[in-house]
A = this chain, B = another copy of it.
Amino acid sequence: MAVDPDHVLRTAAALLTRKSTATMDEVARAAGISRATLHRHFAGRDALVRALESLGIEECRAALDAARLDEGTASEAVRRLVAAIEPVAGLLAFLYTENQLFEGEEQNPGWTLIDDRISALFRRGQLSGEFRIDLTPAWLTEALYGLLASAAWMVHSGKGAPKDFQHMIVELLLGGALRREES
């Protein structure tokens, strides 16, 4: 009887990931509840998106923790990060585009925290000599987001296999398209 708000959120995330313009009614149906009940738990679409944003931030934070960005080489940390963040990629892409609509408003500070942690990882790689220094950590972070979105889209549209997700992103992000000199 008692509705599980977390279950509703995760269902909504899964749906909106596929169809970003889904109606409140569709979200409710997908979660197996009525529109009225959905509205009892989330004041409106805005509140729902905000809650999804918090969920996404929390999952990202958890992924960052699980990836132990401070351990081992930066490359290894990037691989762990991509692996850990893969399940959130779809939700991330949705929130990414959704955030662009909040033009005037200030964005949730949680994103800054996440950006900073990822940027710090790339900076660590630069300081250790692993990563090149002509690409800023901010750009590498943004590029990672873009590649995550592209890969998620490829998998979702059936143009790519889910098993290749991590490999595609990590290899391109770290190694690039050029063939290495096997001297």
Contact = CB atoms under 8 A, between A and B. Distances in A.
Contact of A159 (B138, B140, B143, B147): B138
A132 interface: yes
6 contacts: A131-B178, A134-B167, A136-B160, A143-B147, A171-B176, A174-B176
A1 interface: no
A130 to B, nearest CB: 6
Contact of A172 (B103, B129, B143, B154): B143
**Which of A136, A138, A150, A151 has the most B CB atoms < 10 Å from its CB?**
A150
A64 to B, nearest CB: 18
A68 to B, nearest CB: 19
A125 B177 CA distance: 9
Given A101-B21, A103-B19, A172-B143, A179 B132 contact: yes
B150 A145 contact: yes
Interface of A: 19-21, 75, 78, 97, 100-101, 103, 122, 125, 129-136, 138-140, 142-143, 145-147, 149-151, 153-154, 159-160, 164, 167-168, 171-181, 183
Contacts of A131: 177-179
Contacts of A154: 138-139, 142
A150 B100 CA distance: 12
Q: Please give me the 7 A-B residue pairs with the lowest Cβ-Cβ distance, nearest first.
A: A176-B176, A146-B150, A146-B146, A175-B176, A132-B179, A142-B150, A131-B177
A150 B160 contact: no
A171 B134 contact: yes
A132 B178 contact: yes
Contact of A178 (B21, B138, B168, B174): B174
Given A179-B130, A180-B132, A142 B159 contact: yes
